[in-house]
Amino acid sequence: MTNIAEIPENPEADDADLQPSKTRRKRDMHALQGIGAQLVDLTQQQLAALALPDKLTDAVADAKQMRKLDEARRRQMQYIGKLMRGVDPEPIKARLDAWRGVSNEHTAQLHAVERWRVRLLEDETAFAALASHYPTADLQHLRALARNARKEHAANRPPKSFRLLFQQLRALLAERSDD
């Protein structure tokens, strides 16, 4: 009878424990393909700012040419994912996240401007709230723009003052965020 202590350990088993599982490798490949898909959606200036390897840049450009979502584009996206394995994805992900964050901040700022514009057009007392939040605001000019915007809307004329009110509010909010 053999003793368990006499059975030699399998050195290949230790190597298998260090390697990621097949599921993990597939998940990583799909994540890289996802980053590649985001690269395809970027503009030429943004791609140039990333300083990607030439092969990857060419593959992304080829994928941009493919308008249909068919088998060829799917294979091209897999190829981009394969090329991404040879690149450190962390700086690319960080840059993409930064661009997306700037976009989210910009969108939030535009929504805030729009909310102020609606408040000023609907409620005359909103000017006092605006003055308390933004003491540098030219209330007289903003009141005139709001009054003209209401008149334009009632007369079914082009929304010139409506747009000017938005631009003035955007400048006011941007000035405050810079401080």
Average pLDDT rounded to a whole number, residues 142-164: 94
Average pLDDT rounded to a whole number, residues 114-124: 93
Q: How many residues does the chain have?
A: 179
Instruction: Name the segment(s) of the chain with CATH classification 1.10.60.30.
Output: 101-178
Would you identify the CATH topology of the domain 101-178? Diphtheria Toxin Repressor; domain 2 (1.10.60)
Q: Which CATH architecture has domain 21-93?
A: Orthogonal Bundle (1.10)
The 10 Å Cβ neighbour count of residue 157 is 12
Q: What pTM did the predictor assign? A: 0.50
Summarised one tens digit per residue, pLDDT across range 37-91 is 889 888 888 888 888 899 999 999 999 888 777 888 889 989 998 998 888 888 8
